[in-house]
């Protein structure tokens, strides 16, 4: 039982350490993609999706310009990987098209074609 | 204006025939299109109905609107040259609104996700979302209610590990349970039914307090719990959950879904749990939890033409074995003095249901739905020397037609139903059989004005082959004083045929004799009540205050009297009064962006007449308190939850006294004693990664246990032995850990 407690504590501590590190805002590299995002809902999807990518420190989508700005750690990821991550969320990133299956699963209002 | 509402009703049918539709959007986005060409409408105005909060669509038809003073649920969409439209948001945060140019038919398609709190339904409803389900341990429906204040889960005895839900202070058998709005797990399945649906099968749970709608039959008295199973169309391709705890109980779940053709999709859900570790934490010689193996398969199919037809098919099979009793007991040992006491059970259950709905062309408000379901439930069990076996075959057909009178302010649902229940039970060599055939008809009228009033009046008439005509009237009113201040009232009648043995399996784990009086009649009760909901905003953070009161009065009840004699359980019709008064006040508030708080206080006054004495129902505390703290970092990467439940003092029958005296007290007065209050704490921490989640949690963190839950544990074959006097946890602190893996 005692070991378990220690484990639990260790896990929680690791957690805070991770959060703390992320919040330190170490200045990383920055990359911008033009996406096929269409609404505020897409903003949430893209920002959340990218937040879970390895090496991503921050991702912000500007809905009007459809440009997502990603701050990342170049040791852990690359613009190519990030582009692919955007595609797998169902969105185009610059010239690289969305993964069809991911695109199909988007909510109707988030689809770039829903107007045509 | 009207066909918008038609579309809303159409959607409701589409999504599962009827009521539980819940919640308010937190923030809303969507787009406005021309209905015929689907081209975006630029500059259309979108307003929260009755407010000045509005926005207009951008160059691509998109709009974004902050959640209105919470509670607001109707949108007004206007555009020059087009017909204005009112849209019921119904918890969706994301809409596609198609406006019809003046002169032609309109259409609106509503698609999106669901949030938690509900301002829409005429009944007092709450939703436990998929996210809430991950807050408590993984395993089955019983754990799903842990972070909810309205439903209590209690352990029924100190041997079998069975759990029961309670609502309004009443036993779970008075709550109608449905899966995807089809009545399920009734009759003999009741004692262990919370184990029969794995937590990973569940998309969300709707909890409705009060008698509810007449569409699902006459049975619900205290409320309805509707379990929405995963939707094959929207589920992840693969979902795996593995769980293990400090008692060495293991759980594994796998869900796999596939879209076979654009119209046809399926999901296969597998679950198993295994408990092979003998634990006796309180050293009474009895296992705290039974050993067991459980295998459960659920397969769901959905055929959706996207036009008029939608069909759904669900198939389930499960097998469960349990062995409990004294630590030294091994399967098959003779049940006599000098040996070890044991309990065993083996359950096999097969069930299937189908739902088909057809929406009339050009009449989106009009539809016809057919629900068919059937199940076979079989178990063999023994408790010491006593055997209890049962078989139940059930069939249900429900045909529902819905349409409107003139316009969609006046809609109705009507239909026919047929229910067949074939019970065979055998207890200690005595047979009990019962065959019920119940054809019925029902009608429900719904009036909804465009602003703030909803009335639902329903009535059904059923002809029961054993008990004659049964009439069930039910009535619900919802009135919004302001979009943030909502009053609901409900009144209705419920009727059910009790299954006294199955519903009191816990008492079998004693050496009491079961005495069933010959003339047991169906249970009938009136339930009256209402709720008041106030949504508010303090410091730009949202909150809700919900308070409700329900009064349930039984006209007849099958009363299990364990209190007049220590050596018997006597089942007889209610002679005198039996009622439950339940009050609850709950506050939900977002304390900071990352911290959510839910606090509730509950008061129950539940009394039944036993042997001419109106007594407080044993084991039910008058006062309870509930506190849930939910913490989540941005994007839910880290989540932590802590739930505390406090149970006030409560009466329990003073069996020790009775046993020692060798019977009832000489003056015929039933003795009770009061047990002290206690609190239980549960907590969990989850870390999410891209495809993984790991969680670590604990139940009963303060390790509170009832001392000596089993009376005469050292003499299980003596007359005094009784394991059913349980009022607090019997297992101590439990630590668990697990992981989830998802491929979207």
Find the CATH number of the domain harbouring A78.
3.30.70.100
Contacts with B, A 31-60, CB within 8 Å: 38-41, 47-48, 51-54
Which residues belong to CATH 2.40.170.20 in chain B?
228-743
3-state helix, strand, coil in chain B (%, to 5): 5, 55, 35
Does residue A88 lie within any of the structural domains? yes
Q: Which candidate, B611, B625, B619, places its Cα nearest to that of B706?
A: B619
Does residue A37 lie within any of the structural domains? yes
Chain B residues in contact with A52 (beta carbon < 8 A): 635, 637, 688-690
How far apart are the C-alpha atoms of B583 and B531, rounded to whole Å? 10
Cβ A4–B735 below 8 Å, yes or no?
A: yes
How far apart are the C-alpha atoms of B130 and B152, rounded to whole Å? 19
Point out which residues pair with B656 in neighbouring strands: none
3-state helix, strand, coil in chain A (%, to 5): 45, 20, 35
In which domain, by residue range, is A51 found? 29-110
Q: Which homologous superfamily does the CATH classification assign to the domain defined by B228-743? A: TonB-dependent receptor, beta-barrel domain (2.40.170.20)
Q: Which candidate, B220, B223, B253, B248, places its Cα nearest to that of B236?
A: B253
Does residue A100 lie within any of the structural domains? yes
Does residue A21 lie within any of the structural domains? no
Low-confidence ranges of chain A (pLDDT < 70): 1-27, 114-116
Min Cα distance B100 → chain A (Å) is: 15
Contacts with B, A 61-100, CB within 8 Å: 63
Residues in CB range of B661: below 8 A, 6 or more apart: none
Cβ B635–A116 below 8 Å, yes or no?
A: no
Point out which residues pair with B435 in neighbouring strands: B422
> Domain count of chain A?
1
Cβ A39–B29 below 8 Å, yes or no?
A: yes
Q: What is the dihedral of CA B541, B545, B546, B547, to 10 degrees?
A: 170
CB–CB of A45/B67 below 8 Å?
no
Q: What is the dihedral of CA B197, B527, B118, B13, to 10 degrees?
A: 70
Chain B residues in contact with A109 (beta carbon < 8 A): 29-31, 62, 94-96, 111-112
CB–CB of B113/A111 below 8 Å?
no
How far apart are the C-alpha atoms of B339 and B556, rounded to whole Å? 42
Cβ A108–B111 below 8 Å, yes or no?
A: yes
How far apart are the C-alpha atoms of B39 and B27, rounded to whole Å? 24
Cβ B38–A105 below 8 Å, yes or no?
A: no
Low-confidence ranges of chain B (pLDDT < 50): 1-4, 8-26, 103-115, 658-664
Min Cα distance B32 → chain A (Å) is: 9
Residue of B nearest to A4 (CA): B735
DSSP category for residue B50: T
How far apart are the C-alpha atoms of A101 and A98, rounded to whole Å? 9
Residues in CB range of B565: below 8 A, 6 or more apart: B658, B663, B664
Residue of B nearest to A16 (CA): B638
Cβ B96–A38 below 8 Å, yes or no?
A: no
Does residue A52 lie within any of the structural domains? yes
How far apart are the C-alpha atoms of B225 and A112, rounded to whole Å? 39
CA B62 to chain centre: 37
Name which of A41, A52, A115 is nearest B40 (Cβ-Cβ).
Answer: A115
- The residue with tokens 């009755």 is B50
CB–CB of B628/B147 below 8 Å?
yes
A13/B contact by beta carbon, under 8 A = no
Coil, helix or strand at residue A44: helix
- Residue B46 is predicted with a pLDDT of 82
Min Cα distance B279 → chain A (Å) is: 15
How far apart are the C-alpha atoms of B291 and B279, rounded to whole Å? 9
Chain B residues in contact with A48 (beta carbon < 8 A): 635
* DSSP β-ladder status, B238-245 and B309-325: unpaired
Residue of B nearest to A51 (CA): B635
ipTM of model: 0.70
Q: Which of B31, B34, B99 to mutate to test the interface with A (most CBs of A within 10 A)?
A: B31
Cβ A38–B60 below 8 Å, yes or no?
A: yes
Is B430 exposed, middle or buried, given 0-12, 13-18 or 19+ CB atoms closer than 10 A? exposed
For B575-590, the pLDDT digits (tens) are 999 999 999 999 999 8
Residues in CB range of B108: below 8 A, 6 or more apart: B4, B7, B8, B85, B87, B96, B97, B98
Give residue ranges of B with CB < 8 Å to any A CB: 27, 29-31, 33, 38-40, 60-62, 64, 93-96, 109, 111-113, 246, 633-635, 637-638, 685, 687-690, 696, 698, 733, 735, 744
CB–CB of B89/B95 below 8 Å?
yes
Which residues belong to CATH 2.170.130.10 in chain B?
125-227
Chain B residues in contact with A47 (beta carbon < 8 A): 635
Name which of B38, B690, B698 is nearest A115 (Cβ-Cβ).
Answer: B38
In CATH, what class is B125-227? Answer: mainly beta
Q: Which homologous superfamily does the CATH classification assign to the domain defined by B25-99? A: Carboxypeptidase-like, regulatory domain (2.60.40.1120)
How far apart are the C-alpha atoms of A76 and B406, rounded to whole Å? 64
Does residue A38 lie within any of the structural domains? yes
CB–CB of B71/B62 below 8 Å?
no
CB–CB of B398/B430 below 8 Å?
no
Residue of B nearest to A17 (CA): B638
How far apart are the C-alpha atoms of B657 and B669, rounded to whole Å? 12
pTM score of the predicted model = 0.81
Backbone conformation region of residue A71, classed left if phi is above 0, alpha if psi is from -120 to 50, else beta:
beta
């Amino acid at each position: 039982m005692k070991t378990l407690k220690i484990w639990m504590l260790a896990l929680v501590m690791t957690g805070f350490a991770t959060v703390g590190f992320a919040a330190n805002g170490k200045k990383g590299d920055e990359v911008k993609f033009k996406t096929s995002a269409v609404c505020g809902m897409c903003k949430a999807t893209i920002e959340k999706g990218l937040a879970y990518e390895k090496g991503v420190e921050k991702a912000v989508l500007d809905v009007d310009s459809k440009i997502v700005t990603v701050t990342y750690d170049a040791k852990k990821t690359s613009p190519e990987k990030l582009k692919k991550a955007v595609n797998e969320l169902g969105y185009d990133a610059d010239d690289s098209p969305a993964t069809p299956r991911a695109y199909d699963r988007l909510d109707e209002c988030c689809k770039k074609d829903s107007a045509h | 204006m009207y066909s918008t509402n038609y579309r809303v009703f159409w959607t409701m049918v589409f999504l599962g025939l009827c009521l539980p539709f819940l919640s308010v959007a937190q923030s809303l986005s969507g787009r406005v299109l021309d209905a015929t060409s689907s081209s975006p409408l630029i500059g259309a105005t979108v307003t929260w109905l009755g407010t000045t909060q509005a926005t207009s669509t951008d160059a691509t038809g998109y709009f974004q609107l902050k959640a209105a003073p919470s509670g607001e649920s109707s949108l007004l969409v206007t555009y020059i040259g087009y017909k204005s439209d009112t849209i019921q948001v119904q918890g969706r945060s994301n809409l596609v609104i198609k406006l019809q140019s003046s002169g032609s038919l309109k259409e609106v398609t509503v698609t999106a996700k669901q949030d938690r709190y509900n301002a829409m339904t005429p009944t007092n409803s709450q939703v436990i979302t998929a996210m809430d389900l991950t807050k408590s341990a993984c395993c089955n429906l019983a754990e799903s209610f842990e972070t909810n204040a309205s439903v209590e889960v209690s352990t029924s005895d100190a041997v079998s590990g069975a759990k029961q839900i309670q609502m309004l202070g009443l036993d779970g058998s008075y709550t109608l349970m449905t899966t995807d709005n089809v009545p399920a797990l009734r009759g003999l399945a009741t004692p262990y039914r919370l184990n029969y649906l794995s937590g990973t099968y569940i998309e969300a749970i709707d909890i409705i307090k009060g008698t509810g709608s007449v569409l699902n039959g006459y049975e619900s008295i205290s409320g309805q719990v509707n379990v929405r199973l995963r939707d094959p169309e929207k589920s992840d391709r693969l979902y795996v959950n593995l769980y293990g705890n400090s008692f060495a109980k293991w759980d594994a779940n796998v869900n796999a879904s596939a879209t076979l053709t654009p119209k046809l999709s399926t999901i296969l859900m597998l679950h198993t749990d295994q408990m092979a570790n003998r634990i006796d934490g309180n050293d009474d010689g009895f296992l705290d939890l039974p050993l067991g193996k459980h295998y459960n398969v659920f397969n769901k199919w959905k055929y959706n033409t996207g036009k008029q037809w939608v069909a759904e098919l669900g198939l389930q099979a499960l097998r469960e074995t349990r062995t409990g009793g004294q630590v030294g007991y091994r399967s098959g040992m003779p049940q006599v003095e000098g040996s070890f006491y044991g309990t065993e059970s083996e359950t096999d259950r097969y069930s299937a249901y189908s739902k088909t709905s057809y929406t009339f062309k050009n009449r989106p408000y009009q539809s016809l739905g057919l629900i068919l379901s059937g199940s076979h439930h079989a178990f063999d069990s023994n408790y010491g020397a006593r055997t209890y076996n049962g078989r139940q075959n059930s069939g249900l057909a429900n045909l529902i037609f819905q349409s409107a009178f003139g316009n969609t302010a006046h809609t109705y649902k009507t239909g026919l139903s047929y229910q067949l229940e074939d019970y065979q039970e055998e207890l200690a060599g005595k047979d009990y059989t019962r065959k019920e055939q119940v054809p019925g008809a029902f009608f429900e009228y719904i009036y909804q004005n465009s602003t703030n009033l909803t009335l639902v009046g329903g009535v059904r008439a059923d002809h029961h082959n054993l008990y004659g005509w049964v009439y069930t009237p039910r009535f619900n009113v919802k009135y919004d004083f302001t979009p943030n201040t909502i009053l609901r009232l409900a009144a209705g009648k419920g009727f059910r045929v009790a299954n006294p043995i199955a519903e009191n399996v816990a008492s079998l784990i004693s050496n009491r004799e079961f005495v069933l009086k010959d003339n047991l009649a169906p249970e009938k009760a009136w339930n009256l009540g209402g709720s008041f909901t106030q949504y508010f905003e303090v410091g730009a953070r949202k909150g809700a205050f919900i308070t409700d009161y329900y009064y349930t009065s039984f006209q007849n009840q099958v009363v299990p009297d364990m209190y007049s004699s220590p050596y018997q359980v006597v089942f007889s019709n209610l002679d005198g009064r039996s009622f439950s008064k339940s009050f609850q006040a709950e506050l939900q508030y977002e304390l900071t962006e990352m911290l959510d708080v839910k606090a509730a206080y509950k008061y129950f006054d539940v009394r039944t007449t036993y042997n001419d004495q109106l007594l407080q129902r044993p084991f039910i505390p008058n006062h309870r308190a509930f506190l849930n703290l939910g913490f989540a970092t941005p994007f839910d990467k880290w989540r932590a939850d802590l739930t505390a439940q406090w149970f006030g003092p409560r009466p329990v029958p003073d069996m020790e006294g009775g046993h020692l005296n060798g019977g009832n007290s000489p003056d015929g007065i039933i003795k009770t004693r009061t047990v002290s209050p206690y609190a239980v704490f549960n907590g969990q921490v989850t870390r999410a990664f891209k495809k993984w989640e790991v969680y670590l949690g604990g139940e009963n963190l303060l390790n509170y246990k009832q001392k000596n839950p089993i009376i005469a544990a050292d003499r299980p074959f003596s007359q005094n032995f009784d394991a059913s006097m349980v009022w607090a946890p019997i297992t101590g602190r439990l630590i668990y850990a697990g992981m989830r893996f998802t491929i979207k």
